[in-house]
Amino acid sequence: MAVYTEVSDEELEAFIGEYEIGQLVSFKGIAEGVENSNYLIQTNIDTYILTLYEKRVDPKNLPFFLGYMDHLASQNIACPTPISGRDGEALRSLCGRPAAIISFLKGMWPRRIHPEHCAELGEAMARLHLAGEAFPLSLPNVLSVAGWRSLFEQCRDQADSVIDGLEDILESEISHLEAAWPEGLPTGIIHADLFPDNVFFLGNKLSGLIDFYFACNDFFAYDLAICLNAWCFEADGSFNVTKAKLMLSRYRKVRPFTDDELSALPLLARGAATRFLLTRLYDWLNTPPDAMVKRKDPREYLHKLRFHQQVGGPGAYGLS
């Protein structure tokens, strides 16, 4: 979440007037995240999130994202749900951007990740994957291996200004991933962005998942690989085997994880590290200086990529 587009009091009051959600009491921008403009809205009835969809989200894909959230809620997955206006439509326009109001989810994302958080996430991720099987729409992952070279080319000329030698590192890694990327693994709708700030807890119990605007069809194991990167590295850069084992074991209790998926995890983890290294690099170079957003340092994911490049098999993650 972030704020790129400023909304005036008058514009917001007129927008909320299209809903049956009460009178506006207060609103404030949410600075965390990097993708869309988000505001916390308080009315005299309840609390909501207003999202204005920025340039990385293709407007034609918004019915998929909003419909998917509605579907997940119907399958008892704790997640925000889009609020429809008086005309029955959830997707609207505000300040020249597609916009929607969604329900507010209680909980806090974990600033310090404990093994119990990873176990809870593994179970929730498996339930999410199974719940999506009945959703009738599909959406390819444009930020999977086929899309990485195009993103790299947009950053290539300035890559070494951020990290010395990064251009050659990315050229070599993308070429390797393009040649070695697996085929035929179990596939369905994945979240594709289950970072800690998109997973809420009440105490050590997971209370909900948010921010589904990267959801897409891809390998289920790729979702797990993203989470290994996001949840299982410590502040000193070391990989926490206990967290990885708990995440996978709780996942397996809900959805079987095949031997082929397990064998592919090191390569998928390299791919996930490359994907977020690339998008962080792009955002580092292109985020407007006046945007209310915290830029994320791409160096973190270069370190993770180097770790995965040394991994010989899933046993290095403590997985078997």
- Please indicate, yes or no, whether residues 37 and 164 belong to a single structural domain of this protein: no
Tell me how far apart the terminal alpha carbons of the chain are, to the nearest angstrom.
Answer: 36
Q: How far is CA 10 from the centre of its chain?
A: 32
Global confidence as pTM: 0.92
- Please indicate, yes or no, whether residues 239 and 126 belong to a single structural domain of this protein: yes
Domain containing residue 216: CATH number: 3.90.1200.10
Render pLDDT for 233-267 as a digit per residue (tens, 0 to 9). Answer: 999 999 999 999 999 999 999 999 999 999 999 99
Domain count across the chain: 2
Domain span holding position 81: 9-103
Query: Greater confidence, 251 or 56?
Result: 251
- Please indicate, yes or no, whether residues 52 and 178 belong to a single structural domain of this protein: no
- Please indicate, yes or no, whether residues 97 and 125 belong to a single structural domain of this protein: no
Domain containing residue 62: CATH number: 3.30.200.20
Cα distance between residue 140 and residue 163, in whole Å: 31
DSSP result, 228-252: HHHHSB-TTS-B-HHHHHHHHHHHH
Render pLDDT for 86-120 as a digit per residue (tens, 0 to 9). Answer: 999 999 999 999 999 999 999 999 999 999 999 99
Query: Greater confidence, 249 or 294?
Result: 249
Helix, strand, coil shares, percent, the chain, to 5: 45, 15, 35
The reported pLDDT for the residue numbered 230 is 98
Arithmetic mean of pLDDT over the chain: 94
Over pLDDT 90: what percentage of the chain?
87
Q: Which two tokens stand for residue 319?
A: 């997985």
The reported pLDDT for the residue numbered 1 is 40
Q: Which of 6-10, 31-35, 266-270 has the lowest mean pLDDT?
A: 31-35
